[in-house]
Amino acid sequence: MEPRDGFITTESGLRLFFQTVGSGPKKILIPNGIYLVDDFSRIANGRTLIFYDVRNRGRSDAIADQSQLARGIHQDVDDLDAVRRHFRIDRADLIGHSYMGLMVILYAMKHGPSVGRIVQIGPMQPKHLPDPAADSTLRECFGKIGELQKERGSLDPVAFCRKFWSILRVIYVTNPADADKISWDRCDLPNERNFMTYWMGSLMPSIQQLELSADALAAVTSPVLTVHGTRDRSAPYSGGRDWALTLPNARLVAVEDGGHAPWIENPDLVFGSINAFLDGAWPDVSERVIETDDGRQPAAKS
């Protein structure tokens, strides 16, 4: 299936780039998902997958006016609704990977009647916490990135970006031999080469300020499937358990020895679970989490 692409123009005039795969009647929105097109096309049978670049990312318009970035992840929530309305979807199913796994929950909190089913994959935890102690792979990766920073002035931006990603991609898999399967850099695009400035200046502060209590998350009544690798270095597995524990209608698929891209370690489990869930059923392997590993229970869970 060949992707089809184009632009969505928001009410403010900002253009968001999108690609679609498949032509089925069921439409699935995948924000910030262009890098997932090749891998996730396998779930397009009977569905139309709509991948798009969020603002100031990928092929979407670059933004120089900082006031249009200041709201960080909350602006991504509003843009997701613009995409849903553009495609005339009454109740959208959503797939969010990494920090988008957090964003789609924020969207459901604000636009619940417009949400069908939600898949989170390796989502950021509901409560931002300091990073856990780094393992040897993380320490080695950060050390190499520190050394690379010394070369920034002698490398053109594309070369620097590609070297950066050649180091970083190792942390997203559990077997270093699989690192070549991470092709997320998109270093030919200025937005992606400049992403860290946007991340540190706008996105991360907006995430750190979130206060997602059990009472607030009770507004998310849509079914939520959280798929999380047990060896995820980027978003701790404990955060995935917290989501499935706290959301009122959620279950967890744990990918043993899976990393931040758990479909690399176990594609049949991940895509099989997503297919079953989007077809309307809880995967047989999904777990209804009633307590965390330390025995903590939510304030209320029906």
Q: Distance between CA atoms of 59 and 152, rounded to whole angstroms?
A: 24
Asked, for residue 297, whether it belongs to a domain, the answer is no
Question: Which of these three, 185, 203, 221, is where a domain ends?
Answer: 203
pLDDT in tens, 188-226: 999 999 999 999 999 999 999 999 999 999 999 999 999
Q: What is the DSSP letter of 287?
A: B
> Exposed/middle/buried for 200, CB within 10 Å: 0-12, 13-18, 19+?
exposed
Q: What is the pLDDT of residue 127?
A: 82
| Same domain, yes or no: 106 and 152 | no
Apex CA 138: angle with CA 101 and CA 38, to 5°?
A: 45
Asked, for residue 295, whether it belongs to a domain, the answer is no
| Same domain, yes or no: 79 and 175 | no
Check if the beta carbon of residue 49 is closer than 8 Å to that of residue 21.
Answer: yes
Nearest to 292 by CA among 232, 227, 245, 226: 245
| Same domain, yes or no: 219 and 179 | no
| Same domain, yes or no: 12 and 114 | yes
| Same domain, yes or no: 94 and 242 | yes
Check if the beta carbon of residue 114 is closer than 8 Å to that of residue 92.
Answer: yes
DSSP 135-159: -HHHHHHHHHHHHHHTTGGGS-HHH
120: how many CB neighbours lie within 10 A of its CB?
A: 30
Asked, for residue 301, whether it belongs to a domain, the answer is no
Q: Distance between CA atoms of 271 and 285, rounded to whole angstroms?
A: 12
Q: Distance between CA atoms of 72 and 198, rounded to whole angstroms?
A: 9
| Same domain, yes or no: 268 and 145 | no
| Same domain, yes or no: 127 and 161 | no
| Same domain, yes or no: 144 and 14 | no
Query: What DSSP element (H or E) covers 48?
Result: strand 47-52
Q: What is the pLDDT of residue 301?
A: 43
**How far from 273 is each of 3, 43, 140, 178, 210, CA to CA, in Å?**
24, 10, 33, 22, 29
Asked, for residue 300, whether it belongs to a domain, the answer is no
Q: For the chain, list residues with pLDDT below 70.
A: 1-3, 129-134, 292-302
| Same domain, yes or no: 190 and 41 | no
| Same domain, yes or no: 223 and 274 | yes
Residue with tokens 């390796």: 122
Asked, for residue 167, whether it belongs to a domain, the answer is yes
Q: Distance between CA atoms of 228 and 205, rounded to whole angstroms?
A: 24
Q: What is the pTM of this model?
A: 0.94
Asked, for residue 291, whether it belongs to a domain, the answer is no
> Exposed/middle/buried for 282, CB within 10 Å: 0-12, 13-18, 19+?
middle
Q: Distance between CA atoms of 168 and 96, rounded to whole angstroms?
A: 21
| Same domain, yes or no: 92 and 16 | yes
Q: What is the pLDDT of residue 41?
A: 96
Q: What is the DSSP letter of 200?
A: I
Question: Which of these three, 157, 184, 203, is where a domain ends?
Answer: 203
Half-sphere CA count of 118, side-chain side, radius 13 A: 34
Q: What is the pLDDT of residue 295?
A: 55
| Same domain, yes or no: 88 and 212 | yes
Find the domain containing 185 and state its range: 136-203
Nearest to 93 by CA among 181, 83, 246: 83
Asked, for residue 78, whether it belongs to a domain, the answer is yes
First to last CA, the chain: 42
For residue 44, the domain's CATH number is: 3.40.50.1820
Question: What's the number of domains the chain is made of?
Answer: 2
Check if the beta carbon of residue 55 is closer than 8 Å to that of residue 14.
Answer: yes
Check if the beta carbon of residue 96 is closer than 8 Å to that of residue 103.
Answer: yes
